[in-house]
Amino acid sequence: MHLSGAEIVVECLKEQGVDTVFGYPGGAILNVYDALYKHQDEITHILTSHEQGAAHAADGYARSTGKIGVCLATSGPGATNLVTGIATAYMDSIPMVAITCNVTLPLLGKDSFQEVDITGITQPITKHNYIVKDIKELATVIRKSFRIAKSGRPGPVLIDITKDVTSNKTEYKPVKIDPILPDPEAVSAEELQVALEMIKKAKRPYVFVGGGAVLADASEEVRSFVKLLDAPVCDSLMGKGAFPGTDELYTGMLGMHGTKTSNFGVSECDLLIVLGARFSDRVTGNAKKFAHHAKILQFDVDPAEMDKNIMINAGVTGDLKESLKKMNEILSQQDHKEWIDRIMGYKSAYPMRYPQEGLTGPYIIEEIYRQTKGEAVISTEVGQHQMWAAQYYKYTKPRTLLTSGGLGTMGYGLGAAIGAKCGNPDKVVVNIAGDGCLRMNMNELATAARYQIPVIEVVINNHVLGMVRQWQDLFYEKRYSQTVLNDAVDFVKMAEAMGAVGIRAESRESFAKAFAKALTLGKPVLIDCQIDSDDKVWPMVSPGSSISEAFDASDLEEDEQ
């Protein structure tokens, strides 16, 4: 077939099984959009309100489906508007391909209209990137990009294509794309044997599950491993759902806003087994004091993560699903009843608590969990509401919490929810937002309304930048510098103006009624939930402190007495 570069782009997307893309057109990428128009019955294009929304939608599509997300943008500001979304995906190892187009080859490097070196800009935040100046290389580059994005440790890849390449023609030959499968032989038998000996010697093992377990689709292997090991389990924000939050051995999240049970238990264990986590500073607290009684055994696909943030005693490198399959074959049933009883004692002594009157963030999350029976896909923005969503919704399956963990991107969640709903049309998709975050992406509510994508936007509205204000309250002597959002924005009217349904909730009863209604409407709905400005996320670990020093409101009250 003799095709233009733009047609080759579309054919390569079809080769990869891409059914949905997110983007925004412009002059440099116009040829690609013209080719997409001719294939709109095969590839659905979602026109977002902003390119950043397109990147987040591709990210949410990828996180929730396990497929590669795809976003498109034109040159210059179109391409740079993708940068935050690409960086978000990079920090959380999300497979995504971003396709941008640039000015024609003769104009490249001459400060031409809407020209920018997007490959130079994105080099630090992509797994790999390309600029295609020769049409004969185009199909090969696209195929390589999809393989790179998905293989090993996943991540975003950017392809920049000069406009003349999209209009030039060359011979195109379709290729059958083989699935990307992990190599079981890549897992070292010697490393597994060392790990096995450490596990057998442990008296107080603890399992810490990270986002790598979700990305590797290793949840079944994780569950089997935990049962054989007979040990308590905690997780990171990114690891939610890889081990069910309803299991009796589960003790909650670890780290700055983790449970006291998990923080105390990890601080007292003699072996910490880390499954696909990178020891973020939000998890470890003071790194010098982290799990200081324990030997550390790390399983990870990326050898660069070994000894990066925390020095470990041994590691198993390779795909986590394959590593655990092999470990489960050689691990005999362990028994740690005394240790588990001790941790369960902590679990009884330090339950997650919040005020049982009035509308609060934790109540809202628990009511969403109750009404969705734990079966929803939850996306979040970043802040207090994000932590409440992590603490109070019981995730029993992987790929059901979509949140910006590494970069902490305010404005991520609504785009991600749209992408998730496009990829999972039969699932309830709820975005948990704060009022500060909503201001950064409220334009994407128009996207949901345009396509009648029935996402539910729950705004936990405290009229402040809640997490920053919490820090100001605790560590800056209540100097609320630029964190009060006391203005006249009416989110309900805004939602209605954009074509969505808007509902305000000021009590527990009104929220329960509003959410139940939202589940039945089949339309995008925004629920504006009015909560107190002083509500806080508990427990908490002060910056620079050990996670064993986690405290909550009751601890502060005792200190003041």
163 catalytic per annotation: yes
Three-class SS of residue 42? coil
**Contact residues for 128 (Cβ-Cβ < 8 A; gap 6+):** 145, 148, 157
Amino acid (1-letter code) at residue 379: S
114 catalytic per annotation: yes
467 catalytic per annotation: yes
Inter-residue contact 264 to 552 (CB < 8 Å): no
Segment (H or E) for 101:
strand 96-102
344 catalytic per annotation: no
> What does the longest C-alpha to C-alpha distance in the chain come to?
81
Inter-residue contact 484 to 508 (CB < 8 Å): no
Q: How far is Cα 361 from Cα 278, in angstroms, rounded to an integer?
A: 29
Q: How far is Cα 321 from Cα 66, in angstroms, rounded to an integer?
A: 14
Residues composing the chain: 561
Q: What is the CA radius of gyration of the chain?
A: 24
**Listed residue (262, 127, 135, 139) closest to 206, CA to CA:** 262
113 catalytic per annotation: yes
DSSP-assigned letter for residue 465: -
**Listed residue (521, 516, 520) closest to 505, CA to CA:** 516
Q: Which of 7, 11, 22, 51 is catalytic?
A: 51
Side-chain half-sphere CA neighbours of 280 within 13 A: 24
DSSP-assigned letter for residue 487: S
Q: Which of 96, 198, 442, 467 is catalytic?
A: 467
**Listed residue (154, 150, 157) closest to 178, CA to CA:** 150
The alpha carbon of 369 is separated from its chain's Cα centroid by a whole number of angstroms, namely: 19
Q: Which of 127, 150, 163, 325 is catalytic?
A: 163
Q: Which of 114, 334, 371, 530 is catalytic?
A: 114
Provide φ and ψ at 387, rounded to 5°. -70, -40
Residue holding tokens 């539910």? 456
Q: Which of 1, 38, 113, 375 is catalytic?
A: 113
Which residues are the active-site residues?
51, 113-114, 163, 467
